[in-house]
Structure formats: structure tokens, C-alpha cells
Amino acid sequence: MGKKILVLGSSFGGYHCALNLRKLLGKEHSIQVVSSDDTFTFVPSLPWVVMGLREPSAIQFPVAKSLRSKGIEFICDTIVKADPEKNRVTGKAGEYNYDYLVVATGSELDFPAVPGLGPEGGYSGSIFSVEQALQSKSALERVIDKGAGSIVVGNAQGASCLGPVYEVAMMIDTHLRKKKIRNRFSLALFTNEPHLGHFGVGGFGKVTRMLEDEFADRDIEWKVNSKLAQVTPEEVELDDGSKYKNDFSLIVPAFYGSHAYMGIDGFSNPRGFVTADDYLANSKYQNVYAVGVSLALPPPFKTDVPVGVPKTGQMTEAMAKVAAHNISADIKGGAKKRGKDFDVICIADAGDSAIYLYASPLLPPRNKLVHKKSKKAHYMKLAFEKYYMASLRYGLPNLDFGW
């Protein structure tokens, strides 16, 4: 008898997991994707949207038609409650049963954790959707048009997606220098990390010194071990009393997994991230798999200010393939694969150059670590984005490197 696999989410994790499941499983097994968004967004390029270097249409792809063309049912709905005891989840529009569940819904942004944080009801920009990126773009253009001001970017306590503020800070600096008005703006970065380039995993060798030197050359003020106290229309205030004038601010908040998963014993941690074993299956509910941001990964290092563990798009897509393989192994038999042995490839753009980083594995001590700043890395990131979006639109082969 055929099994029903329900995939929640349609971004890097959900979309690629569904496609790989369809390749691995016969037509007697049904695959259903339920997602609150019917459009795939190439999130790593959102900093370019903020800078006016990319139109949203270039980094978006309608997933529903693509999935349906491959025999995968797609429903646009927002999940509000999981019930793993009954193999069922509930959305705003209906209920969905399953034999196997893949949780790939990403994150919820915890703006309410800090007074004044966020673009809705707050006084800072964000960068986790096209809409937020366009709002930040407009706000940045307004302060630049004034000809002078204070620009602040930062990672709030608990933040885990730490790289975008580094990119935005360096790209703003590059943009202002090209306009020959850099001398009229102060530019500062604060972060919850214990040192620059910690990135929730203890750092990457000399990358910390690379960033310190880069910021020194660019006259970017920086502050670590920072805890955000509040954001007002006039100021960004840290817990230690430090204050920055708030002409423009872009601040990354902490994440929730999903409120839909909270309070279910053995299913998720207190912040709604789904717990899973080394094979990405939940220990209590072995027919539930978690990939990407939805997966609970405890911080490997103690820090003075809470710092989360990042899950990049590259890591998420790799997890999606492992989860699909392991569900197929559950159904058809065969050996399962480990899903937490991460390598990471990242390119942090700086506007006129970029920092390329490869680490194997993600956490130290590592078998291999490569890092280099170059203009070539900037063009590599641009080329990868274009190829990746083309691969979605036209079914081109995947590349085995990240962004």
C-alpha cells in the first residue's frame, strides 16, 4: 500500500526534499507539499535587493506549477498546529494527514523580544523576505539622499543568521565610497558573537582577523558581545548603555522554529525547533524528519550573549536530500545516511569583492579550512545565483558548491 509523505515548506529544504522524494519513490506513494508561500526566494541575494543591485523577479521562482508538473501536490496554507500522535497537522485552511512528515517551514522572526525591533511596529529594517528587503532599500536610499547620517547594522541576542549584516555593512561602505560621500556617514556593526566571524560555530581560523582588518580599512566601527536593549526612532541602544544614532538600522532578530510545534513533548525544543537524531528523524516520532532552519541544533559553544547556530541554504539543501533518502530507506529498505555531518561553503559579498569560505566539517577541529578575499569570489557568487535560479526554472543539473 502506498505511503503519503507530507512536506511542510517550499524553500531550500521543502522544495528539494519533495523533488528528491519523487525521484526515489514510485508513483504509488503520494507526496504533498503544504507551504505558506508559493514562491521560492533565493534568500542569499536579499542583501543585493537592499542595495538596489537585484530586482526581486531575478531571485524568485513560482514553485506550485513546477511541483505539480512532477506529480507532487501543492497547497498554499499556513500550518498552525502539529499533532504527531495522530500523524496530522492543521493549517489555517484545513487538516493534513501523513505517513511521513518532513518539517522544513523555516523560521519565525522574534521581533517582539526587543522593544522597537523590526519593520512592523518598530524602527529597524530586516532582510528575511523580499518585502523586508525592499523596505530596507527604501529606508537606506532616504538616508543616503540626505547626504549624511548614522548607519547601524547588527545581530540581536539569540540571532543565528549572522552573515547578512557583515555583507550589508561592507556593501554600504563600498556604495558610499563609489559615490565619494563615505566621509559623511558613520557606519557601525554590533553583534551578539564573542568575536567577529564567530558565526555561532566558534569561528573559522584567521577569518576573525581578516574581518577586523577589513573593518579597520573601511572605517566600520564594531562591537561584540552585544545585547540589544531597545530601538527608538532616534537611537539604537545596547544593554551596556552604548547608543547609536538611528538614521538607518538593519538588525537581525532571534528566530523561533514555529509556534505550531511548541509544547509537544519529545517533538520540539522550547523555541519550536524540531529535535532530530543524526539521521534527521525525530527520536520519539521516527516518521517525522526535520531539515534546515526548522531543525534544532544546540549551540556548540557557551557564549556570554546567546548566539544561535546558522543553517545556510547549502546546508539545508544537503539535509533535504538526506531526509528524502532516509524516508525512501524507511519505505523500501536500505541503509540510511547521516544528516548532520555538515561541510559549509559560504561567500560573503562586500560589493567590490567577497570573502570565500570553505570548512569541512562545519565545527572545529576541521579537516580542511579555506578562506580568501578576492574579486573573483564576488563574481563567483553572482554566477552561482544566476545558475541556481536557472536550474530551478529550466531543470539544469545542480552544482555541488554553495554561496
Cα separation, 388 vs 98, whole angstroms: 31
Cell numbers at residue 144, please?
543616503
Quickly tell me which residue has 541576542 as its cell: 157
Cell numbers at residue 190, please?
554590533
Cα separation, 194 vs 307, whole angstroms: 9
Residues linked to residue 231 through DSSP beta bridges, in sequence order: 236
Cα separation, 144 vs 174, whole angstroms: 13
Which of 320, 345, 346, 392 does the annotation list as catalytic?
346
17 an active-site residue? no
Quick check: helix, strand or coil at residue 300?
coil
Quick check: helix, strand or coil at residue 318?
helix
**Would you list the DSSP string of 133-184?**
HHHHHHHHHHHHHHT-EEEEEEE-TT----HHHHHHHHHHHHHHHHTT-GGG
Q: What is the chain's Cα-based Rg?
A: 21
Which of 31, 82, 161, 252 does the annotation list as catalytic?
161
The set of catalytic residues is: 161, 346
